[in-house]
């Protein structure tokens, strides 16, 4: 009995003293949720001024005063970027989560003596670098070229600033049922989005940043830059026009890498230099160039481009997949 009282005393102090602040501010605390839903929340806008997410007065007889809504015309286009603010399933995704402290009511820092005498409680809006027009075009291209394909994805970047101008993957989802005042509606939508029989793939794990894909021909850019920076002599070589190449140390019988269209590349029978190989995307010749560069050079060059790192995005870090490229010891094997 004494041990039980000691354990109870320790736990009470742990909850009421040490964990008091974290529990009081936890997003899963019903009181925190009630306070948040009694106030407006900042809006999320596209770069061309379309309101993607906003707070509106909840229907009469609702438990809370305000409800989060997503523009039905853009909800599916931006759901994997914007995320959602759900009563039952929380706020752990997208911009809604990453910028939550700005979107909820908070105290603006004082910048003058006058600020100390006025109410500085504000909510901020968040504007994306992504516009609705380009996002719509990219989504249409993805859905048309890869209908039903799980996790087909595309990202458009501004090469000068690195700003993301479009980012879309399929399948996607509608966030509005996930923020419904009706918890049964939320539950049904959640289970539907996660059900492989009802929704193939997992729309809640974006193909653009939550999954990992082989880089394909985009890795030719990494290989080419490694040649120009580390082995410029390889850029001046003339490479033969071949349909395929046998890969060394690839088992018995060895594996054969064939050009995408199955024919010889480059198209000129006399072969071509590095620029020609890059323009015509010659897989077999680039495989040989990779062998000439060697594994350590390829790995170090890939890491300059962000391989083996978590790409910094304005979404929760734990939802971003870590890209990977094997170290040179593994590549040798």
DSSP-assigned states of every residue in 179-225 = G-S-HHHHHHHHHHHH-TTTSSS-TTS-TTTTS----GGGHHHHHHH
pLDDT, position 287: 93
pLDDT, position 32: 58
Torsion of Cα atoms, 10 then 16 then 19 then 25, to 10°: 160
Q: In whole angstroms, what is the distance from residue 284 CA to residue 7 CA?
A: 68
pLDDT, position 252: 87
pLDDT tens, per residue, the chain with 333 residues: 888 888 887 888 777 776 666 665 565 666 555 556 667 899 999 999 999 999 998 888 777 788 899 999 999 999 999 999 988 888 889 999 999 989 987 776 767 666 566 566 778 999 999 999 999 999 999 999 887 776 789 999 998 998 999 999 998 999 999 998 888 999 999 998 887 766 777 889 899 999 888 888 989 999 999 999 999 999 989 999 999 999 888 888 989 999 988 899 998 888 899 999 999 999 999 999 999 999 999 999 999 988 888 888 999 999 999 888 876 555 544
> For 223-264, what is each residue's pLDDT tens digit?
999 999 999 999 989 999 999 999 888 888 989 999 988 899
Residue 107: which residues within 8 A CB-CB, separation 6 or more?
Answer: 120, 121, 122
pLDDT, position 333: 42
pLDDT, position 30: 60
Using alpha carbons, select from 174, 169, 196 the residue that is nearest to residue 186: 174
Domains of the chain: 26-194 (3.90.1310.10), 216-332 (3.40.710.10)
Q: In whole angstroms, what is the distance from residue 333 CA to residue 331 CA?
A: 5
Q: In whole angstroms, what is the distance from residue 105 CA to residue 103 CA?
A: 7
Please answer whether residues 278 and 224 qualify as being in contact, where contact means their C-beta atoms are separated by less than 8 angstroms.
Answer: yes
pLDDT, position 302: 93
pLDDT, position 110: 67
């Amino acid at each position: 009995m004494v041990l039980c009282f000691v354990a109870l005393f320790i736990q009470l102090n742990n909850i009421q003293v040490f964990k008091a602040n974290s529990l009081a501010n936890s997003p899963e605390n019903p009181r925190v949720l009630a306070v948040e839903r009694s106030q407006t929340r900042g809006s999320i806008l596209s770069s061309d001024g379309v309101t993607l997410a906003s707070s509106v007065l909840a229907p009469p007889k609702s438990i809370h005063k305000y409800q989060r809504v997503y523009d039905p015309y853009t909800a599916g286009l931006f759901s994997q970027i914007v995320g959602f603010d759900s009563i039952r399933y929380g706020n752990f995704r997208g911009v809604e989560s990453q910028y939550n402290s700005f979107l909820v009511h908070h105290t603006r820092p004082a910048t003058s003596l006058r600020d100390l005498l006025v109410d500085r409680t504000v909510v901020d809006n968040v504007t994306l670098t992504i516009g609705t027009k380009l996002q719509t075009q990219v989504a249409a291209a993805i859905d048309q070229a890869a209908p039903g394909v799980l996790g087909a994805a595309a990202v458009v970047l501004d090469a000068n600033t690195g700003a993301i101008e479009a980012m879309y993957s399929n399948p996607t989802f509608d966030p509005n049922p996930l923020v419904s005042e009706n918890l049964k509606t939320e539950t049904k939508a959640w289970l539907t989005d996660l059900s492989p029989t009802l929704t193939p793939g997992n729309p809640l794990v974006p193909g653009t940043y939550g999954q990992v894909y082989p880089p394909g021909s985009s890795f030719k850019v990494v290989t080419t830059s490694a040649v120009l920076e580390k082995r410029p002599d390889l850029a001046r070589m003339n490479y033969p026009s071949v349909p395929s190449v046998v890969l060394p140390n690839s088992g018995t019988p060895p594996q054969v890498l064939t050009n995408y269209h199955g024919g010889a590349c480059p198209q000129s029978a006399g072969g071509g230099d590095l620029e020609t190989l890059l323009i015509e995307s010659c897989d077999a010749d680039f495989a040989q160039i990779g062998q000439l560069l060697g594994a350590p050079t390829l790995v170090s060059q890939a890491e300059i481009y962000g391989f083996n790192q978590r790409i910094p995005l304005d979404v929760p870090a734990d939802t971003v997949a870590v890209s990977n490229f094997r170290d040179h010891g593994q590549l040798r094997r």
